[in-house]
């Protein structure tokens, strides 16, 4: 994400939300913002993994998860009970980095 998308598109109007959850024994102290140090990345800590549960139930059909990406277009609007339509999603982020890059590039081109 950092080197293949953000650094290659330094002027793109894009926001990245990196939500860190305590899976695999992680803690807020273990967050490494250098992984995505671009100023357009907002790093958030979710100690109770509420976001993971919500997205698994509302954005795609899956159990609680981590290390996935969700791409929404610029017109996406949220309500408390419903997520907008996804442009792309996948897991793991590194395992499907090509799909992630292609989805973001398509949005940036439009």
Q: What is residue 49's predicted lDDT score, i.e. its pLDDT? A: 87
How many C-beta atoms surround the C-beta of residue 81 within 10 A? 7
Strand intervals (E) in the chain: 16-20, 41-45, 68-71, 88-91
Confidence at 40, pLDDT banded by 50, 70, 90 = very high
pLDDT (average), residues 24-44: 89
* CA–CA dist 64, 81 (Å, integer): 17
Higher-confidence residue of 76 and 53: namely: 76
pLDDT tens for 55-76 read 877 776 666 677 889 999 999 9
* CA–CA dist 67, 24 (Å, integer): 11
pLDDT (average), residues 72-93: 87
């Amino acid at each position: 994400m950092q080197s293949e998308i953000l650094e290659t598109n330094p002027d793109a109007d894009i926001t990245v939300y990196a939500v860190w959850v305590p899976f695999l024994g992680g803690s807020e102290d273990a967050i490494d913002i250098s992984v995505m140090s671009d100023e357009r990345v907002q790093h958030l800590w979710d100690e109770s993994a509420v976001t993971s549960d919500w997205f698994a139930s509302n954005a795609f059909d899956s159990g609680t998860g981590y290390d996935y990406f969700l791409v929404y277009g610029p017109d996406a609007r949220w309500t408390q009970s419903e997520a907008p339509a996804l442009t792309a999603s996948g897991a793991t982020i590194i395992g499907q980095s090509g799909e992630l890059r292609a989805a973001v590039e398509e949005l940036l081109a439009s």
